[in-house]
Structure 1
Amino acid sequence: MDRHMIERIVADVMALLGETSVPVPPDGMIPVAVSARHVHLAPEHVEALFGQGFELTKRSDLSQPGQFASNETVVIAGPKGSLERVRVLGPARKLTQAEISWTDAMKIGARPPLRESGDITGSAPLTLIGPAGSLMLSEGLIIAQAHIHMSPQDAQNYGVNNGEFVTVKVSGERPLSIDKVLIRVSDRYRLEMHIDTDEANAGLIKSGAPGRIVNESAVVQAMTPIVQQPRNQPYEFKQKLLSREHVQAIDEKEIVIRKGTIVTPLAKDTARELGKEITFIK
């Protein structure tokens, strides 16, 4: 039975139970996107760099609704060098910031802090050069914290909260686990994890690679409580959907779930393969 058929079965069962939300995919996959160096500009800084009355022009849409890569590029200058043709993303924002990798920072002699996008207070100085002018800002240069964009429904499905940090395992030629991945929740977001080029290079990761949350507060939940429980005791699973990843992460041989919990076919198959028992209680 393929993944899409499984998702349809789960969706049908959820509908019968009166659930209107879309459940987490049985494999818990989150698409990963590699974010290259880029710049966000405030409207007044668009004009300072490109000319009075100038507005950014769309080159291509980005995965997040309403966001786009513009045709415009700038130079980021540092004490020891510069980064040429850095793409400006649109639309214009309230604050100007540039997001680069640590490798980029070493090239230009900068020391940007690791920050959530938008948190630029006290960050590294930023010098930008455009075709119509230049800017020297006292702050605005950062290395972006790896993060996952989620809608409120996604966050509910995955059992996480805005501002929470999780660990994500990214599959591929060189599997890699990334710690301190920030959860960012907004009704404007589409589900996607963003990492920078250094993180991608470390794991030979390309955009579109599958990532899975593997720490205690998310899809594969309660890793710490699992190991704290006595091994001869059953593990009580409290989420609404038991997936294959849940079964693989739980160390106990008996998984106790309450009536009404959805168990995916892959979860049942995995339990049999691992010699685990799934028990329903009222």
Structure 2
Amino acid sequence: MSFEIEASARHVHLSNDTIAQLFGFNYKLTPVRPLSQPGQYVSKEKVILKGPKGQINNVSVLGPAREHSQVELSITDALSLGVDPPIRESGHLDQTPGITLINGNNSVNLNSGVIIAQRHIHITPEDAKIFGVQNNDIVSVKTSGKRSVIFNDVVIRVSEKFATRMHIDFDEANACGFVKGMRGTLYKK
């Protein structure tokens, strides 16, 4: 039994307040293409990330709006920006560093919200039963391909709102020779 692995590039999730500050009052994000997770999409909008040591241009904004703004980076991105975010699950933003988001002449200084996303598997309840896992379980995953690796400390996230996919960042994708359609096999600890 296996599942698809997806590489997730650096991106931001914005609150309605941050969207208003960057793009204008009552502004709505413009969907460009859907993501594999139902209801999630890449928007037309892009931002610049500015840290103490540098900046990264044209960073994708994912929609829809969230309760709190969040920036997801790889370790390589964090080093180039000069920030030191923890590895965390999405939405777990306590005691995380901040960063500046820029759109044209508008900018927002986030006091917190920068993370390196913990590698994880979004999984439907039906698939969770098949794989014998529960929400928040920690598992290992062996990748397919010419440069297969075993990723440890993969968090299981179960919801009827999910499609079953594993998400890794670009540093992890490069380490395993990621190609579109790559599959993973789950090993329980």
Scaled by the length of structure 1, the TM-score of the pair is 0.66
Larger radius of gyration: 1
Deviation of 1:112 (Å)? 0.7
Higher relative contact order (CA 8 A, sep 6+): 2
Deviation of 1:215 (Å)? 2.6
In 2, distance between residues paired with 1:67 and 1:131? 25
1:41 correspondence with 2:9: no
Deviation of 1:114 (Å)? 0.3
Alpha carbons 2:138, 2:188 under 8 Å: kept = no
Counterpart code for 1:48? Q
Counterpart code for 1:181? V
1:154 correspondence with 2:127: yes
Deviation of 1:207 (Å)? 3.1
**1:243-258 equivalences in 2 (<5 Å):** none
Scaled by the length of structure 2, the TM-score of the pair is 0.98
1:121 correspondence with 2:94: yes
Aligned to 1:77: 50
Deviations 1:249-277 (A, max 9, x none): xxxxxxxxxxxxxxxxxxxxxxxxxxxxx
Deviation of 1:152 (Å)? 1.1
1:139 correspondence with 2:115: no
Aligned to 1:107: 80
Q: Where is the strand percentage greater, Structure 1 or Structure 2? A: 2
1:89 correspondence with 2:69: no
Deviation of 1:132 (Å)? 5.1
Give the aligned length: 189
Deviation of 1:131 (Å)? 2.9
Counterpart code for 1:187? E
Deviation of 1:52 (Å)? 1.4
Aligned to 1:7: none
1:179 correspondence with 2:152: yes
Deviations 1:45-80 (A, max 9, x none): 111011112110011000001110000000111001
Deviations 1:223-246 (A, max 9, x none): xxxxxxxxxxxxxxxxxxxxxxxx
Counterpart code for 2:116? I
Query: Which of 176, 179, 186 in structure 2 is aligned with 1:203?
Result: 176
Deviation of 1:173 (Å)? 1.4
In 2, distance between residues paired with 1:187 and 1:203? 29
Alpha carbons 1:48, 1:132 under 8 Å: kept = no
In 1, distance between residues paired with 2:65 and 2:184? 30
Alpha carbons 1:50, 1:132 under 8 Å: kept = no
Aligned structure 1 segments of 4 or more residues deviating by more than 4 angstroms? none
In 2, distance between residues paired with 1:175 and 1:36? 20
Deviations 1:15-62 (A, max 9, x none): xxxxxxxxxxxxx11100000000000011111011112110011000
In 1, distance between residues paired with 2:127 and 2:74? 28
CA RMSD of aligned residues (A): 0.9
Identity %: 46
Q: What stretches of structure 1 of length at least 5 have no aligned partner? A: 1-27, 217-282
Q: Where is the helix percentage greater, Structure 1 or Structure 2? A: 1
1:63 correspondence with 2:36: yes
Q: What stretches of structure 2 of length at least 5 have no aligned partner? A: none
